């Protein structure tokens, strides 16, 4: 993108207001989004339960990039670009599996589980084969959550891990497993999805199923008494209620945005389910239900919603400037028995019905943004984190000039 065009877009943005139309609809802006956001940020790729044995692997796909995430025979995890070093073919074609080595289907170049080249048939002996391994990406594992980054200099997670480790420890997320996944194709720019997720200003009108159990659609003054009672229950249950806000202006330079907050559900709701009743065994070392839920962010692209008995992980994956995937991954305790279809339906009910509603309102939001009459309006006080996301986004674009 021409620097003068980007400079004009950034300088004409009115602070505290929504983004102008080009940020959602311009091809050059989307190309810059890919470069400065998705190929820089840490991205949630999967969970360690998907790589239990040496030789296990899965593919992570975003835009035109395919990544092999594997566990080697020393139990170390690796993330490698799924592009053969010979003439560029995809090496691994199956979405997941177990193998001793990866063999390119084109000319049979073979790679070890760590990406190093094992064999290249008939290549001249003077070629340095040590330089022909699959290209490696940065990978971090935190409480069983696997993150990758395409950046040569990804943000440092040291402070994040230090601050969040004692908070997440009681949940033992590394001892959970993937119970269900579902992807929702949405006809909207990726930013509209994240902006919608980041606020509950719309929850009362758009999500009656969510609003009857969660207090986040209320003003902070009305929610405070319920949160105070929940904090007392959480102390007995062994559930952390720390408040951590290292987002935007509170973020440390060179480190990811991250945050944690726990809030109350309404009386009669132990967890995020249709009837408020448990949908699985308690996570980790939690002793009992506190009637609360936690919002966790590890980077602004990776929100996690943690109940006492399950975790809902959200991923926002761009397809192009006009289309995105909103994916949800449900995690439960590793010994949970959800063998029946009914049990899985109970687990996914709330966030499935909510996301189906979100798909509708997000697509209508995008249709309005596409109008020649669209003008950005001011954020409300209940859109604090949407505003912070916009500030974060504009800062990243500004640094990419």
pLDDT tens for each residue of 328-357 = 999 999 999 987 888 999 999 999 999 999
> So where are the chain's domains?
43-140, 158-399
What pLDDT is recorded for position 401?
57
Alpha-carbon gap, residue 317 to 149, rounded angstroms: 14
pLDDT confidence bin for 218, thresholds 50/70/90:
low
Mean pLDDT of the chain: 94
CA quadruple 158, 160, 166, 171: dihedral positive or negative?
negative
- Secondary structure letter of residue 204 according to DSSP: H
Residues 17-28 pLDDT 10s: 999 999 999 999
Q: Can you give the C-alpha Rg of the chain in angstroms?
A: 22
Closest alpha carbon to 392 in 86, 155, 117: 155
Residues 265-286 pLDDT 10s: 999 999 999 999 999 999 999 9
For the whole model, what pTM was predicted? 0.94
Q: End-to-end alpha-carbon separation of the chain, Å? A: 9
What pLDDT is recorded for position 147?
98
CATH class given for the domain over 158-399: alpha beta
Is the predicted pLDDT of residue 222 greater than 80, yes or no? no
Is the predicted pLDDT of residue 41 greater than 80, yes or no? yes
Architecture of domain 43-140: 3-layer Sandwich (2.102)
Residues 6+ apart with CB under 8 A from 218: none
Q: Which helix (H) or strand (E) holds 127?
A: none
Q: Which of 44-53, 88-97, 206-215, 278-287 is the least confident region?
A: 206-215
Residues 120-168 pLDDT 10s: 999 998 899 999 999 999 999 999 999 999 999 999 999 999 999 999 9
Q: Are strands 65-71 and 77-81 parallel, antiparallel or unpaired?
A: antiparallel
């Amino acid at each position: 993108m021409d620097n003068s065009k980007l400079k004009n877009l950034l300088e004409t943005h009115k602070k505290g207001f929504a983004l102008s139309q080009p940020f959602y609809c311009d091809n050059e802006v989307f190309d810059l989004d890919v470069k400065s956001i998705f190929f820089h940020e840490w991205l949630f790729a999967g969970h360690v339960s998907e790589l239990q044995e040496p030789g296990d692997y899965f593919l992570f796909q975003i835009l035109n990039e395919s990544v092999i995430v594997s566990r080697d025979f020393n139990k170390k995890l690796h993330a490698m670009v799924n592009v053969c070093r010979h003439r560029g073919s995809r090496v691994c074609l199956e979405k997941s599996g177990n193998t001793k080595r990866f063999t390119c289907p084109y000319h049979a170049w073979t790679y070890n589980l760590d990406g190093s080249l094992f064999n290249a048939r008939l290549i001249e002996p003077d070629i340095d084969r040590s330089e022909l391994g699959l290209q490696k990406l940065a990978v971090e594992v935190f409480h069983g959550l696997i993150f990758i980054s395409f950046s040569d200099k990804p943000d440092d997670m040291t402070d994040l891990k230090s601050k969040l480790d004692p908070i997440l420890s009681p949940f033992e997320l590394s001892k959970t497993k993937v119970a269900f996944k579902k992807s929702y194709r949405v006809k909207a720019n990726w930013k509209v999805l994240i902006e919608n997720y980041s606020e509950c200003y719309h929850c009362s009108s758009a999500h009656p199923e969510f609003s009857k159990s969660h207090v986040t659609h209320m003003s902070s003054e009305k929610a405070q008494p319920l949160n105070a009672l929940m904090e007392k229950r959480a102390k007995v249950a062994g559930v952390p209620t720390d408040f951590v806000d290292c987002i935007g202006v509170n973020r440390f330079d060179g480190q990811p945005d991250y945050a944690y907050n726990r809030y109350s559900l309404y009386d009669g709701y132990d967890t995020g389910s249709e009837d408020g009743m448990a949908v699985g065994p308690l996570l980790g070392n939690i002793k009992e239900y506190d009637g609360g839920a936690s919002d966790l962010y590890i980077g602004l692209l990776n929100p996690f919603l943690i109940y006492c008995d399950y975790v809902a992980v959200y991923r926002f994956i761009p397809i192009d400037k006009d289309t995105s995937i909103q994916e949800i991954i449900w995690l439960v305790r590793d010994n949970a028995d959800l063998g029946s279809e009914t049990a899985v339906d109970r687990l996914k009910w709330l966030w499935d019905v909510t996301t189906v509603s979100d798909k509708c309102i997000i697509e209508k939001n995008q249709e309005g943004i596409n109008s020649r009459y669209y003008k950005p309006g001011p954020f409300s006080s209940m859109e604090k984190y949407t505003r912070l996301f916009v500030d974060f986004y504009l800062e990243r674009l500004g640094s990419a000039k």
